[in-house]
Amino acid sequence: ADYQYIKTETDGRVGIVWLNRPDVLNALNRKMVYEILSAFEAYDRDEDVRVILLAGKGRAFAAGADIEEMAEDDAVSMELLNQFADWDRLSLTKKPVIGAVHGYCLGGGFELALVCDLLFAADDAQFAFPEIKLGVMPGAGGTQRLTKLIGKSRALEWIWGGDMHTSKEAVELGIVNRLYPKDLLFKEAIQYARLLSEKPPLAVRLIKEAVHKAVDVPLQEGMYFERKNFYLLFSSEDQKEGMQAFVEKRKAEFKGR
Ligand code: HXC
């Protein structure tokens, strides 16, 4: 596909989305968010792709929403624009999304990272919600997703503070899964994505759905939800294949059906 602000490529069964507006540190304008969404949705429908990897070109992952673009907005123009419908759809992606973050990961860029299922970061990554310095606040899930990840008190400290946090802090708080030296980050992330792409895809996606459910609903409701997904997998060819292969002491060939 022809994109203006992102680049896509596949590596085996991994669909890669590159944020590609490096002269403004990948500041996210609305068209760019729409392009990211289009790429995610295309990969989600593509049976040859099993895992999505999101990373940034240039010296940053993303330094936030495009400030120039929103500077003149008002409440009514934003309501009519309904840009966050695209953000909501980003989080409906069924396949796993791995984020590989280096350099600045700020504001809307941080919110985009928080949409990813797992985050790997370079040791130079810096995280912040600087919105407060602009007289506003996060609007694409920052106050909600960060709070669910690190708790109320720390989230308030980060979002009121607006200042930069290191990737080491982000790992310690559970925002980031793994840290790598900058020149190894992408290699390690793609390696992980490849391994994940060899796992039975239906199980992978139903696990994603169930774990995300746990963040949102009371335990018993989540338990019922988990059970339905568990049962559903017993209608798959991959369940038959996986268990048969175990019995026959051979390696399973998963098809995603
Ligand atoms: C538009 C941006 C930008 C942004 C950087 N640039 N961030 N343009 N929107 N968010 C542009 C700069 O204007 C500059 O363009 C070029 O990128 C390089 O940036 P510099 O400032 O020259 O680089 P540096 O000195 O290294 O400083 C990096 C920085 C700083 C600390 C990240 O750029 C900065 O503070 N940026 C804004 C960060 C921010 O406030 N993000 C939150 C946005 S609000 P020129 O043309 O001068 O070379 C938000 C709300 C989300 O995200 C709501 C939901 C969508």
Q: pLDDT for 61-103, tens place per residue?
A: 999 999 999 999 999 999 999 999 999 999 999 999 999 999 9
Q: Which atom of ligand 1 is closest in space to residue 131's alpha carbon? A: 44
DSSP code string of 129-158 = -GGGGGT----SSHHHHHHHHH-HHHHHHH
Helices H / strands E in the chain, number of each: 12, 9
**Residue 256 is among the residues annotated as catalytic for this protein:** no
Evaluate: CB of 117 within 6 angstroms of ligand 1.
no
CA 190 to each of CA 97, 120, 122: distance values in angstroms, whole numbers, following the listed order: 12, 10, 14
Residue 201 has pLDDT above 90, yes or no: yes
CA distance 83 to 141: 13
Catalytic choice (60, 65, 113, 121): 65
CA distance 185 to 156: 29
DSSP code string of 64-83 = -B-HHHHTT--HHHHHHH-T
- Residue 52: its pLDDT value, please? 98
pLDDT category, 26, cuts 50, 70, 90? very high
Q: pLDDT for 216-238, tens place per residue?
A: 999 999 999 999 999 999 999 99
Q: pLDDT for 134-152, tens place per residue?
A: 999 999 999 999 999 999 9
CA distance 82 to 86: 8
- Residue 234: its pLDDT value, please? 98
- Phi-psi category of residue 251: left, alpha or beta, with phi > 0 → left and psi -120 to 50 → alpha: beta
What is the 16 CA–ligand 1 centroid distance (Å)? 24
Sign of the dihedral defined by the CA atoms of residues 1, 43, 193, 53, in that order: positive
Q: Of all residues in the chain, what percent are helix, strand and coil, respectively (each to 5)?
A: 50, 15, 30
Evaluate: CB of 132 within 6 angstroms of ligand 1.
no
Q: Which atom of ligand 1 is closest in space to residue 87's alpha carbon? A: 55
- Residue 198: its pLDDT value, please? 95
- Residue 1: its pLDDT value, please? 77
Nearest CA to ligand 1 atom 51: 108
Q: What is the mean pLDDT of the chain?
A: 97
ipTM for the whole predicted complex goes beyond 0.85: yes
The predicted model scores a pTM of 0.97
Task: Tell me if 82 sits within 8 A of 140, measured CB to CB.
Answer: no
**Residue 65 is among the residues annotated as catalytic for this protein:** yes
CA 42 to chain centre: 15
Evaluate: CB of 24 within 6 angstroms of ligand 1.
yes
Assign 235 to helix, strand or coil: coil
Nearest CA to ligand 1 atom 17: 24
- Residue 100: its pLDDT value, please? 98
What is the 65 CA–ligand 1 centroid distance (Å)? 8
- Residue 192: its pLDDT value, please? 98
**Residue 131 is among the residues annotated as catalytic for this protein:** yes
